[in-house]
Structure 1
Amino acid sequence: MNLYRSARAVAGASGEHAIDWTAAAEASKALTPPGSLDIDEADKAGYRADVRDARREIERVGGVDVVLPDAIDVHNRHHWIDANVTTFERVMAPIEHELGSFPGIARTVNTGTMSVLLGYLGRNVLGQYDPLLLAESADRTHALYFVHPNIVRVAEQLDLDRDRFRRWIAFHEVTHAAEFATAPWLSAHLERHVETSLRTLSSGSFDANAFETLDVAMTVVEGYAELLMDHAFDQETGDLRRKLDDRRQGGSPLQRLFRRLLGLGLKRRQYERGKRFFETVAEKRDLAFAGRVWNGPEALPTAAELDAPSQWIDRMDETL
């Protein structure tokens, strides 16, 4: 960690937009040890086998097609930051253009905040399926990443078998690939509401309807992934979930505060709320019925239906 280099990068933030993305990436990497990518042939084969097996089992139990990226990327933390600073820049671009030029001190503060965010996530993300929202190029429409140093570190911290833990992460991320393949409308739906939410926030207001719609969609994405993975994963998962939940809730007071500021508590609530919804649907009906959620935006549950799954089931019955 090089605090001086990070501070120098932030202090040198320039340009006309709210954030100097090049400086944010440099500063976040200065704050974040890259971690080792010393991966032997067994590790390489393990990642390939985990993704291949996840695809096969998810297609089998879910009755869905899984479309995977051509390349599966095994990153260190700096690689992950470089990939995601591009995503953040792309998502923020529409409102940055509307806001126009920023005074130097505001740009410096924004750049520093973004560098801390990227550094924290880079040290903690384990795997990621990225549908590349708002991407302009059709050359690469989605990506699948594993942050190998984080997987190794967390497996050691939680006293888990590393290969089994890596496999569980792979299954989770491949379920997200299945969702976006099953629902080709999902990317555009998320993009539209992300843009709406950001635009209203940038104008100093808050669009509660847009935020609720986005929150519901992300809760469905996370909840369905949990359901599908529970049925597809070929090993016991109880201890994995318990230890990861303890990790999400634990840490120092500063770490817990930082997670709240980043909205990571919201993501955990989305996991839990979505999982309860889909477990109820699958219990009352089956996995195939739960998969109706991807029939179109109109098939998504409302916020009220997420907490009363029987209402969503009744509505889906009426559409037959």
Structure 2
Amino acid sequence: MNASALPPTAAASAATLAPSASGTAAPAATGPGGLVRWGVAASTARTLASAGPRLEPGEGARIVEEIRAAAAAGVEHVYRITGLESAHELRDSEVLVVDRAGWATAAVNGFREMLEPGLKQVLGDRFPQGLPMSLKLGGYGVGAEMGGLVTFLASHVLGQYDAFSVSSTAPGGRLLLVAPNIVQVERALSVEPADFRLWVALHEQTHRVQFAAAPWLREYLREQITELMDGLMSLPTSLRERLKSLTGSVRQDAEAPQGGAGQDPAHDGGGMGLLDLVTGPREKEALSRVTAVMSLLEGHANVVMDSVDASVVPTVKTIRQRFEGRGTERSALQKLIMRVIGMAAKQKQYQDGARFVRAAVDELGMEGFNAVWRGREMLPTEAELHEPRLWVERVSADA
């Protein structure tokens, strides 16, 4: 869906990074040259990101405040549904209401924080004397391709919890809510704005609570990503070419008719995913662990979001029906992750995550399910994700 651009006067009020009272605006993604020129990626994404839907003068500032209020209100509902005490202590992370350019800049910074440690470790081992000039120069092209991919996603993402972009004021990461996209979708669906904003906030605030409940999870994911990097950097296919293929693949996924007859996302000509590229047993095990934990996180957030009733979100049934009917634009990042992984049924994995959570809660209750946040050994394996009883039996035996 193409939204008309904000006029400059409206953009000035709505299209700005809007930090929480105690937070600060997202920093620009810059850094020294390397395999990825992050500054190039950030400037490309920031420059190319469109403004979004038209707003009346002064309307943008009001919308930003309303979205921030919805995010704050969502925390108590997450606590009530999950029983996680971490929902009461979220002071170590911040909430930012951003425009598309702000999200694009922050997203590149998030990718840098997530990927750079692994890249440095892997490349340091492979090139102890320093990167060859060809790779350094290629970093500009990689940065431009990444910037183009982030630009496309910037018009689709409603919200994102970034666990890797930490600072002295927000050591627990930050939650980004993209105001123009939320407004665009609520208008397209003709739903009650206040209800829709709270509904979206419930999903995103759940991710914030998850990492607060499992502070070890950030490093766990980073370890798995570094393991994957080690395998991918030994492949002959260039990172730039994979990003270029990936950009086209994600664009095809988002723009293709939803539920098209006979459509097979795994064989749409969009290029290979990581499952096609990763060959080593260690890398495959890491990929399996990443797949399982991402499915758990998204499935859990979906269960929380879908647990509210009309007493919390009066028009929740209408929102669910219309949102799911349009192909769930909230899945833009999910589509990227699933395309990177190379799975045929991108949404199916997250549906499996939600089914896992519901099955585990049915058997153990929410308190029993919350054992999953105690440590990495409590995470479900990919096999357990598809067979929740296996995880339930393992957890029950350890209790």
Structure 2 length as normaliser, TM-score?
0.67
Structure 2 counterpart of 1:76: 99
Amino acid at match of 2:161: Y
Structure 2 counterpart of 1:194: 225
Structure 2 counterpart of 1:274: 353
Shift of 1:57: 1.8
Distance 1:43 1:258 in 2: 28
Pairs aligned (count):
300
- Bigger CA drift: 50-59 or 97-106? 97-106
Structure 1 counterpart of 2:144: 112
Aligned-partner SS, 2:96: strand
- Is contact 1:77-1:147 (8 Å) kept? yes
1:178-193 paired onto structure 2 within 5 Å:
178-193=209-224
Identical counterparts, % of pairs: 27
Structure 2 counterpart of 1:220: 296
- Is contact 1:54-1:232 (8 Å) kept? no
Offset from partner CA, 1:68-123 (integer Å, 9 cap, x none):
35642111111111212112222232354316245276334312320111101111
Q: Compared with structure 1, are the counterparts of its residues 105 and 232 closer, same or farther at alpha carbon in structure 2 (3 Å cutoff)? A: same
- Is contact 2:163-2:218 (8 Å) kept? yes
- Bigger CA drift: 184-193 or 63-72? 63-72
Instruction: Identify, as 1 or 2, the structure richer in helix.
Output: 1
1:18-33 paired onto structure 2 within 5 Å:
18-33=35-50
Q: Compared with structure 1, are the counterparts of its residues 214 and 263 closer, same or farther at alpha carbon in structure 2 (3 Å cutoff)? A: closer
2:170 alignment partner, one of 130, 140, 143: 140
1:89 partnered with 2:89: no
Structure 1 residue ranges (4+ consecutive) displaced by more than 6 angstroms after TM superposition:
257-260
Distance 1:154 1:263 in 2: 27
Unaligned runs of 5+ in 2: 6-30, 236-276, 330-334
Q: Compared with structure 1, are the counterparts of its residues 40 and 19 closer, same or farther at alpha carbon in structure 2 (3 Å cutoff)? A: closer
Distance 1:260 1:193 in 2: 16
- Is contact 2:158-2:182 (8 Å) kept? yes
Q: Compared with structure 1, are the counterparts of its residues 45 and 89 closer, same or farther at alpha carbon in structure 2 (3 Å cutoff)? A: closer
- Is contact 2:41-2:143 (8 Å) kept? yes
Structure 2 counterpart of 1:64: 84
- Is contact 2:71-2:201 (8 Å) kept? yes
Structure 2 counterpart of 1:298: 377
Distance 2:342 2:182 in 1: 19
Distance 1:271 1:186 in 2: 18
Aligned-partner SS, 2:306: helix
- Bigger CA drift: 31-40 or 287-296? 31-40
Distance 1:28 1:264 in 2: 24
Shift of 1:175: 0.8
Structure 2 counterpart of 1:211: 287
Q: Compared with structure 1, are the counterparts of its residues 271 and 22 closer, same or farther at alpha carbon in structure 2 (3 Å cutoff)? A: same
Distance 1:273 1:247 in 2: 20
- Is contact 1:294-1:300 (8 Å) kept? yes
Unaligned runs of 5+ in 1: 2-13, 251-256
Distance 2:65 2:140 in 1: 44
Amino acid at match of 2:386: D
1:154 partnered with 2:171: no
Amino acid at match of 2:72: R
Shift of 1:203: 1.9
Distance 1:264 1:158 in 2: 30
Amino acid at match of 1:140: A
Structure 2 counterpart of 1:51: 71
Distance 2:338 2:353 in 1: 19
Q: Compared with structure 1, are the counterparts of its residues 102 and 277 closer, same or farther at alpha carbon in structure 2 (3 Å cutoff)? A: farther
Amino acid at match of 1:128: Q
Shift of 1:64: 1.1
Shift of 1:34: 3.0
Shift of 1:176: 0.9
Offset from partner CA, 1:145-203 (integer Å, 9 cap, x none):
11100111111122222221111111111111111111121111111111211222112
| CA RMSD between the two structures | 3.0
Shift of 1:248: 3.4
Structure 1 length as normaliser, TM-score?
0.82
Q: Compared with structure 1, are the counterparts of its residues 71 and 297 closer, same or farther at alpha carbon in structure 2 (3 Å cutoff)? A: closer
Aligned-partner SS, 2:51: coil
Q: Compared with structure 1, are the counterparts of its residues 263 and 116 closer, same or farther at alpha carbon in structure 2 (3 Å cutoff)? A: farther
Distance 1:81 1:24 in 2: 9
Amino acid at match of 2:174: A
Offset from partner CA, 1:208-260 (integer Å, 9 cap, x none):
1000011111111111122223335622544434433343379xxxxxx9897
- Bigger CA drift: 60-69 or 95-104? 95-104
